[in-house]
Amino acid sequence: MRCRTAERLLHLYREDELDPDQNEALARHLLTCDVCRERAAFIRSGLERLESARRQATLPEVPAGLKESILRRTVAQGAPRRTARRPYREYGLLPLLRPVPALLGLLLLGLLAWQEFTLLDRLADLENRLEQAGDRATVGTPGRGLEPALGQGLDRIEAAVRLLESTAPVGSGTELVVVRRSDLEALQGALRRLTGPAMTLPPEVVRLFPELGAVRLDDGLDRDELDLLLTRRPELLHLLRTL
């Protein structure tokens, strides 16, 4: 066992974190390595302190009114609100005419909104599918959302989602982010800062998304971890290329 592995295992001390083989290998290593034995004593005293702090941590108090607020926004909305109707005579002939413009207006609104609602539904559906696939995903420019006007890109996004669904979930932190073309440069710069020259948006992505760019990345990892992830999970790079 290498000393680096031993250090990692020393931090995994609670039940079900180490299997018996690892425990045994660690014990054997500590018998033969003076440096690790010394380090183990040091780490354990620090971990004991962490354990003690952990036990002292108290549950934060639930704010007053939280439950009521939740109920207002859930079960209470199930009951339709009723407003008292004024008698027809107060309106004269108006009630007879009201349905005509109302119907026309509804038809017009329906026509205008049809395409937009369809696109929004498709977006919502895609987001649901991504969520169900086990990957946390954002369809849209982070912080701003994807405008329905970018609907022509939906088919490509849908293809990307199908691809995501067909690959094994990479797990927490893996994300499909679809961004506007105008944000690509910022994203590229951020990727370069995160990963160095090793990872940039492949040209295929840009070519297939003429108005959008797409990249799957994990910004919950630091640079070393990301490098490690990329070397261990080639499907990430594969996905980038396939997109």
> Is residue 187 involved in binding other proteins (CB under 8 A)?
yes
Cα separation, 113 vs 104, in Å, equals 14
- The candidate with the shortest Cα–Cα distance to 211, out of 156, 158, 144, 145, is 156
Among all chains, which residue has been given the structure tokens 């094994």? Answer: 168
**Cβ 241 to other proteins, closest distance in Å?**
21
Q: Which segment (85-93, 130-138, 196-204, 235-243) binds other proteins by CB under 8 A?
A: 130-138
Question: In the complex with other proteins, which residue's Cβ is closer, 25 or 43?
Answer: 43
> Is residue 166 involved in binding other proteins (CB under 8 A)?
no
SS3 at position 214: strand
SS3 at position 212: strand
Q: What are phi and psi of 233, to 5 degrees?
A: -115, 75
Residues 53-72, one symbol each (x = binds other proteins by CB under 8 A, - = not), give: xx-xxxxx-xx--xx-xxx-
Cα separation, 196 vs 191, in Å, equals 7
Cα separation, 182 vs 211, in Å, equals 9
> Is residue 16 involved in binding other proteins (CB under 8 A)?
yes
Which tokens is 25 given? 């290998």
> Is residue 221 involved in binding other proteins (CB under 8 A)?
yes
Among all chains, which residue has been given the structure tokens 């941590």? Answer: 57
**Cβ 79 to other proteins, closest distance in Å?**
9
> Is residue 145 involved in binding other proteins (CB under 8 A)?
no
User: Which of 114, 222, 235, 238 lies at the binding interface for other proteins (CB under 8 A)?
Assistant: 222
Cβ neighbours of residue 134 under 8 Å, at least 6 residues apart? 169, 171
Residues that bind other proteins (CB under 8 A): 7-8, 11-12, 14, 16-17, 43, 46-47, 49-50, 52-54, 56-60, 62-63, 66-67, 69-71, 73-75, 78, 131, 134-136, 138, 142-143, 169, 171-173, 175, 183, 185-187, 189-190, 193-194, 219-222, 225
